[in-house]
Structure 1
């Protein structure tokens, strides 16, 4: 492994352990020339899972694309990087474990929304608004109605209003 600092190949492994996702081995290395340490990750090379887009195009499953979308949805929320990584790991693990060569982008999006729904309602709605291509406020309201228990909606009605008309 080439040292990222000095470019030399002379280094040793100081520590090895499974990464948090358990998909890779994390190795701390020390360059024997410049004595600096760096981290590498080793993982099994999988056959690519292809994502079938709504228009029929196919592209390789891209973990970073999912991570980026989830990070945007979770901005300014009390959600740790570890929690975001767990969601992405779970999505990736589910699809890798399924041993499918192709998976629909709809299935991917729905899985992300399911996991975000459990994690944080605001992040869920943000992601859903982009994924489901909300066109106006009415789309947001409909989605929010599914999140708010009916009892809370009824309690918020002004006095004198009823469902009877």
Structure 2
């Protein structure tokens, strides 16, 4: 690592620690020439798969687009920014774990819906209404009934 003070290409590591919940390594270094100390951070490069749209075109994964979708669905809901960031990170991790170079937008939408279902049911229905392009009240009603049935099945399964 080049010294930021004298540009010598050699430095030695004095201390290494995990940072950013284990996603980075913080290293304390000392220049072998001038003796100055400095800190570096190392992290792995996260490569998200490309997104295959429903029309067949593909585009790079856009974290900001995902964030906007979540924020829109969660608008005025009792969810903290920390929960939103956690959910965003969890969704991206699930997409990466698929191990694919290209992922259909349909698959991403389903992952988002699963995460929103756990986080906030109202946000789930909001997202589903746009994602599934609900055209009338009956479509909303059907989605809510399916959600309620899922809750009943889950709660009756836990009481056994």
TM-score band by shorter chain is: 0.5 to 0.7
What is the TM-score when the length of structure 2 is the normalising length? 0.67
Deviation of 1:90 (Å): 1.0
Q: Does 1:19 align with 2:13?
A: no
Which whole-Å CA distance do the structure 2 matches of 1:25 and 1:78 have between them?
34
Structure 2 gap segments, 5+ residues each: 6-16, 27-40, 153-160
Give, in whole Å, the separation in 1 of the partners of 2:24 and 2:76.
Answer: 29
State the Cα distance separating 1:95 from its structure 2 match.
1.8
Secondary structure in structure 2 of the residue aligned to 1:78: coil
Q: Which residue pairs with 1:71 in the alignment?
A: 71
Shift of 1:144: 0.9
Runs (4+) off by over 6 Å: none
Matches within 5 A, 1:18-97: 18-19=19-20, 23=23, 43-97=43-97
CA distance in 2, matches of 1:149, 1:107: 23
For 1:42 and 1:132, the matched residues in 2 are separated by 41
- Residue 100 of structure 1 pairs with residue 100 of structure 2: yes
How far apart are the structure 2 equivalents of 1:52 and 1:129? 21
Residue aligning to 2:156: none
Structure 1 92/145 Cα, relative in aligned 2: closer, same or farther at 3 Å? Answer: same
The number of aligned residues is 125
Inter-partner Cα distance in structure 1 for 2:105 and 2:24: 25
Q: TM-score, normalised by structure 1?
A: 0.65
Q: Which moved more, 1:85-94 or 1:118-127?
A: 85-94
Root-mean-square deviation (CA), in Å?
2.8
Please say if 1:117 is aligned against 2:117: yes
Aligned equivalents of 1:131, 1:96: Cα separation in 2: 21
- Structure 1 stretches of 5 or more lacking a match? 1-8, 11-15, 27-40, 153-165
More helix by share: 2
1:12-67 CA-to-partner distances (Å, cap 9, x unmatched) read: xxxx86335x54569xxxxxxxxxxxxxx864334441111111010111111111
Separation of aligned partners in 1, 2:18 and 2:82: 17
Once residues 62 and 102 of structure 1 are traced to their aligned partners in structure 2, the CA distance between those partners, rounded to angstroms, is: 13
**CA, structure 1 residues 92+42, in 2 after alignment: closer, same or farther (shift >3 Å)?**
farther
